[in-house]
């Protein structure tokens, strides 16, 4: 993304209308309603009515698909009249149709009345520019998600996908199921003009920006339905997933900026449970896309689609991480640490690509002195995090260290240090004498800010811990002879291999790491990893099924060295 376009629009986030900010506060009730239903505190019909009330509160809502998904899943438990009132597609007068260039999407629109689309027709072909832009967006989204990333195709051969426009007033759009034998089982309804909606960064203007990301968002719901018929618990994560796709397909638009920092996401409230997800939780999903790669989420959803039983969404995430040699707990800790290093705490060497444009996170506790005292018990809710923000005094001496004491194996700790020279360091806690400690020998006198991130990965219950920030604990390295003393690229295994192999890498200190595969002529054929790794021994997996048998070279590049080894692919 071009930095200048971001800088020109950064102020946009901070001048979000009061209307949208209030909507954030109300919007968190959708996950709450789903939780109440899943825990048996409310009936399906009561939950459906409560969701209707949220979406009818006059605030801007990015998508009302959760209501339609819930109605579809629980149609046998909800009065048919309630569902029917929300599934009727308007009968339109002055109706026209347009088929996208690919022939895969058919748009129905009006040229007059309340539901009319903007009339501008710059190429005088009798199709409004707005509709043609929607067609381009749909074709582009389909091409990237289905043909490039490999998501399931929701459009059966020989059929088209139906999209219409209505004056939705306070909603960007929605996807809903409908009876269409032999064709797609869903269709999409889009806002007809996006007048009065929040601003975004699209260089072609707010209306087209909103249109583009809404097409991408709603089409991902169509893919979700094609993959698992909205079964299992994955529907609870549907909005987060669809909002992620806005950024994946239309990186420049950034409409999702408008919904970050409220009481329902990690920036505004680290202690809130992310499950079930909502569109405010988009950055939770974005971490995996940016850290691991664009093929991560297709891999997760493929597991959901192909599971014999309804695999829980987070189990699919864990399985995909495991298949790549990545640790589930450590990945989640780093995910939350990325949220901490955002906004005013952002660092170019760590975290989200666009972290400087995100909100500065709230913390449950902020220290301006290093007290060296163990806290009382702190209760951390299910599947949530605790941010301790330390701004040490200028005269602070000693080595920075953080300790937690807990009786739960599901509580874990990571620490990130932002130094005065603008460098950054990150480490996971080590078990020491019954506690979990981070002390990497960082000097308090060098640190501008330190974040301690505690995670409760239990999905159902709260857990407790005590925490201490210190300048007197012994350095962790003195107790751990397993930590690598040098950064080293090791021989892959198995070798020879077909088609997958593992590349072990030892990292002596937190740093940027790049691992690539080249053919014998020196041509880059595969990017394995490009990001930051903490101190430790890591295993990176790589699949070369799309390459021919032969000898390949794999290269490790860090700030201070380049190492190369050979491996052999035999098919």
Domains contained in the chain, CATH given: 3-259 (no CATH), 361-479 (2.60.120.380), 488-569 (2.60.40.1930)
Residue 224 clears pLDDT 70, i.e. is over it: yes
pLDDT at 443: 93
Instruction: Look at residue 210 in the predicted model and tell me its pLDDT.
Output: 97
What local confidence, expressed as pLDDT, does residue 235 receive? 83
Distance separating alpha carbons of residues 515 and 527, to the nearest angstrom: 7
Over residues 518-528, the mean pLDDT reads 92
The predicted structure's pLDDT at residue 552: 97
Pick from 116, 245, 113: nearest CA to 175: 245
- Rounded distance, CA 218 to CA 134, Å? 12
412, 329 contact by CB (below 8 A): yes
pLDDT of residue 277: 62
- Cα separation, 370 vs 324, in Å, equals 39
Say yes or no to pLDDT of 9 above 80. no
Q: Residues 327, 329, 334, 337: what is their CA dihedral angle, to the nearest 10 degrees?
A: 180
pLDDT in tens, 400-416: 999 999 999 999 999 99
Reported as a pLDDT band with limits 50, 70 and 90, residue 59 is confident
Residue 69's Cα: distance from chain center in Å?
A: 21
The Cα 344–Cα 340 span in angstroms is 10
Sign of CA dihedral 272, 276, 282, 288: positive
Instruction: Calculate the CA 476 to chain-centre distance.
Output: 32
What's residue 273's pLDDT?
Answer: 86
- Model confidence at 17: pLDDT above 60: no
Phi-psi category of 64—alpha, beta or left, where left has phi over 0 and alpha has psi -120 to 50?
alpha
Q: What is the pLDDT of residues 372-397, one digit of tens each?
A: 999 999 999 999 999 999 999 999 99
Confidence (pLDDT) at 38: 84
Whether 518 shows a pLDDT value over 70: the answer reads yes
> Residue 553 has what pLDDT?
95
Query: What was the pLDDT predicted at 29?
Result: 67
Does the N-terminal peptide bond of residue 496 adopt cis geometry, omega within 30 degrees of 0? yes
Q: Note the pLDDT tens digit of each residue in 127-186.
A: 999 999 999 999 999 999 999 999 999 999 999 999 999 999 899 999 999 888 888 999
pLDDT for the residue 231: 85
Percent pLDDT > 90 in the chain is 67
Q: What is the pLDDT of residues 173-222, one digit of tens each?
A: 999 998 888 889 999 999 999 999 999 999 999 999 999 999 999 999 99
The two three-digit tokens of residue 429, written as one number: 């806690």
Q: Give the separation between CA 547 and CA 177, rounded to whole angstroms.
A: 40
Give the pair of three-digit tokens for residue 553.
Answer: 């070279």
- Taking the model in full, what pTM does it have? 0.83
Confidence of residue 93 (pLDDT cuts 50, 70, 90): low
Say if residues 447 and 419 touch (Cβ distance below 8 Å). Answer: yes
At what angle are helices 129-142 and 206-228 packed, to 10 degrees?
40
pLDDT of residue 32: 81
Give dist(CA 112, CA 98) in Å, integer: 16
> What local confidence, expressed as pLDDT, does residue 4 receive?
37
| 3-state secondary structure at position 525 | strand
Torsion sign (Cα): 545, 548, 552, 555: negative
Those residues with Cβ within 8 angstroms of residue 3's Cβ, 6 or more apart along the chain or in another chain: none
3-state SS assignment for residue 240: helix
Q: Indicate the range of 467-476, 492-501, 511-520 predicted with least confidence.
A: 467-476
Look at strands 384-390 and 365-367 and give their pairing.
Answer: parallel
CA–CA–CA angle 56, 57, 62 (5° rounding): 75
Asked if the model's pLDDT at residue 24 lies above 60, the reply is no
Gyration radius from the chain CA atoms: 25
| Averaged pLDDT for residues 90-108 | 84
Asked if residues 220 and 153 have their Cβ atoms less than 8 Å apart, the reply is no
3-state DSSP assignment of residue 536? strand
What CA–CA distance (Å, rounded) separates 517 from 497? 14
CB 270 within 8 A of CB 361: yes
> Is 487 a residue whose pLDDT tops 80?
yes
Query: 3-state SS of 331-357?
Result: HHHHHHHHHHCCHHHCECCECCCCHHH
Angle, alpha carbons 455-29-172 (nearest 5°): 105
Q: Is 345 exposed, middle or buried (0-12, 13-18, 19+ CB in 10 A)?
A: buried
Q: How far is CA 534 from the centre of its chain?
A: 21
Instruction: Name the DSSP class of 355.
Output: G
C-beta of residue 562 within 8 angstroms of C-beta of residue 488: no
């Amino acid at each position: 993304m071009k930095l200048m376009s971001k800088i020109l629009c950064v102020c946009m986030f901070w001048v979000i209308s009061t209307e949208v900010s209030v909507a954030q506060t109300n919007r968190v009730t959708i996950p709450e309603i789903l939780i109440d239903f899943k825990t048996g505190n409310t009936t399906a019909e009561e939950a459906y009515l409560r969701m209707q009330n949220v979406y009818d509160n006059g605030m801007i809502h990015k998508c009302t698909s959760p209501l339609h998904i819930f109605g579809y899943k629980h149609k046998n438990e909800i009065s048919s009249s309630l569902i029917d009132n929300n599934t009727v597609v308007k009968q339109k007068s002055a109706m026209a149709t347009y088929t996208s260039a690919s022939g895969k999407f058919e748009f129905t629109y009006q040229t007059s009345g309340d539901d009319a689309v903007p009339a501008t027709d710059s190429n005088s072909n009798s199709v409004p520019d707005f509709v043609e832009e929607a067609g381009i967006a749909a074709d582009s989204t389909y091409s990237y998600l289905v043909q490039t990333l490999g998501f399931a195709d929701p459009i059966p051969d020989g059929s088209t996908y139906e999209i219409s426009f209505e004056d939705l007033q306070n909603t960007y759009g929605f996807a809903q199921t409908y009876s269409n034998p032999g064709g797609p089982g869903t269709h999409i309804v889009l806002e007809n003009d996006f007048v009065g909606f929040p601003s975004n960064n699209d260089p072609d203007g707010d209306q087209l920006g909103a249109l583009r990301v809404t097409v991408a968002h709603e089409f991902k719901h169509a893919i979700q339905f094609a993959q698992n018929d909205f079964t299992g618990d994955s529907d609870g994560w549907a909005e987060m997933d669809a909002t992620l796709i806005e950024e994946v397909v239309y990186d420049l638009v950034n409409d999702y900026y408008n919904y970050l920092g409220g009481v329902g996401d990690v920036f505004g409230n680290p202690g809130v449970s992310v499950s079930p997800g909502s569109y405010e939780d988009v950055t939770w999903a974005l971490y995996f896309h940016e850290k691991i790669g664009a093929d991560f989420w297709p891999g997760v959803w493929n597991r959901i689609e192909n599971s014999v039983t309804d695999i829980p969404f987070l189990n699919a995430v864990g399985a995909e991480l495991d298949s790549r040699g990545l640790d589930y707990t450590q990945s989640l800790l780093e995910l939350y640490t990325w949220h901490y290093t955002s906004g005013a705490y952002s660092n170019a060497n760590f975290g989200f690509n666009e972290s400087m444009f995100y909100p500065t996170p709230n913390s449950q506790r902020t220290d301006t002195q290093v007290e060296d005292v163990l806290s009382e018990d702190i209760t951390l809710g299910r599947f949530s995090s605790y941010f301790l923000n330390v701004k040490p005094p200028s005269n602070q001496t000693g080595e920075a260290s953080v300790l937690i004491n807990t009786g739960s194996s599901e509580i874990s700790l990571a620490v990130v240090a932002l130094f005065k020279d603008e460098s950054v360091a990150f480490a996971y806690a080590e078990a020491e004498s019954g506690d979990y400690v981070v002390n990497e020998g960082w000097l308090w006198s060098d640190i501008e800010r330190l974040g301690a991130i505690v995670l409760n990965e239990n999905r159902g219950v709260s857990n407790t811990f005590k925490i201490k920030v210190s300048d007197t604990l012994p350095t962790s390295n003195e107790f751990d002879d397993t930590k690598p003393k040098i950064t080293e690229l090791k021989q892959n295994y198995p070798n020879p291999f077909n088609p997958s192999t593992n590349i072990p890498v030892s990292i002596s200190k937190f740093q940027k790491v790049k691992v690539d595969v080249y053919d014998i002529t020196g041509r880059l054929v595969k990017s394995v990893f490009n990001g930051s790794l903490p101190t430790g021994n890591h295993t990176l997996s790589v699949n070369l099924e799309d390459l021919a048998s032969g000898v390949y070279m794999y290269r490790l590049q860090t700030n201070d060295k380049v190492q190369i080894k050979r491996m052999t692919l035999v098919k």
